[in-house]
Amino acid sequence: AMSSDDEGREEYLFKIVVIGDSAVGKSNLLSRYARNEFSANSKATIGVEFQTQSMEIEGKEVKAQIWDTAGQERFRAVTSAYYRGAVGALVVYDITRRTTFESVGRWLDELKIHSDTTVARMLVGNKCDLENIRAVSVEEGKALAEEEGLFFVETSALDSTNVKTAFEMVILDIYNNVS
Ligand code: GDP
Ligand code: MG
């Protein structure tokens, strides 16, 4: 994961995957983080496999290569190539749809099966702007995260709440594990 740039400065490149049921907001979390964009219409992610976002930690350039499923999760056909080399993961559910929260265990199992290294994992309850139709409490999210040993945060890709935090906490944890 580490290399040096032209001037000999250390650089890091971390692969991070975003997983979770269809329509929980994975693509919008990524577009909000990487481009500050949100799209109201759910259109299948076509073409873009990943986005690269840089941040500086302790004077070092840290690049996160964040992967988005191209809608394969609809068919439960996320391939092992998607997970290969990942050192971080955001496991996303939609706080307004209980079934997406109930799927989290399956996504964690899949992640475990496909990873051969320690993966920094963040449980993300997205769409927290929709408080009026909430179906999963903050406490339930926290409890599951604690049980499984994950970080936890609720986000809104719509109003930007905690989006940066969700990605950057994972990146920082990976950095702390390798540096
Ligand atoms: P994906 O299938 O997991 O990639 O989900 P998308 O990013 O395509 O989002 C699915 C739908 O949920 C789209 O209509 C989005 O506009 C909507 N959406 C995504 N994030 C949020 C959010 O934080 N709040 C609200 N209210 N809607 C969201
Ligand atoms: Mg998507």
Residue 25, pLDDT above cutoff 90: yes
Average pLDDT for the chain:
91
Would you place residue 58 in the very low, low, confident or very high pLDDT band (cuts 50, 70, 90)? Answer: very high
What is the spatial distance between Cα 22 and Cα 25, in angstroms, rounded to a whole number? 8
- For residue 107, which of 92, 96, 95, 88 has the smallest C-alpha distance? 92
Give the mean pLDDT of 68-78: 78
Whether 92 and 24 have beta carbons less than 8 Å apart is answered as: yes
Give the mean pLDDT of 79-88: 92
**pLDDT at residue 79, rounded to an integer:** 82
Q: Which residue has the higher pLDDT, 73 or 50?
A: 50
Query: Ligand 1 center to residue 155 CA distance, Å?
Result: 11
Query: Ligand 2 center to residue 19 CA distance, Å?
Result: 9
Percentage, residues of the chain above pLDDT 70: 94
What is the spatial distance between Cα 93 and Cα 20, in angstroms, rounded to a whole number? 6
Would you place residue 91 in the very low, low, confident or very high pLDDT band (cuts 50, 70, 90)? Answer: very high
Give the mean pLDDT of 6-34: 91
For residue 123, what is the enclosing H or E element? strand 120-126
Query: Ligand 2 center to residue 59 CA distance, Å?
Result: 33
- The pocket around ligand 1, CB under 6 angstroms, is made up of 22-28, 39-40, 42, 126-127, 129-130, 156-158
Would you place residue 32 in the very low, low, confident or very high pLDDT band (cuts 50, 70, 90)? Answer: very high
Give the mean pLDDT of 35-45: 79
Rg (alpha carbons) of the chain, rounded to whole number = 16
For residue 92, what is the enclosing H or E element? strand 88-94
Bridge partners, residue 88, by sequence: 16, 120
* Exposure letters 19-57 (e unless 16+ CB within 10 A, then b): bbbbbbbbbbbbbbbbeeebeeeeeebeeeebeebebee
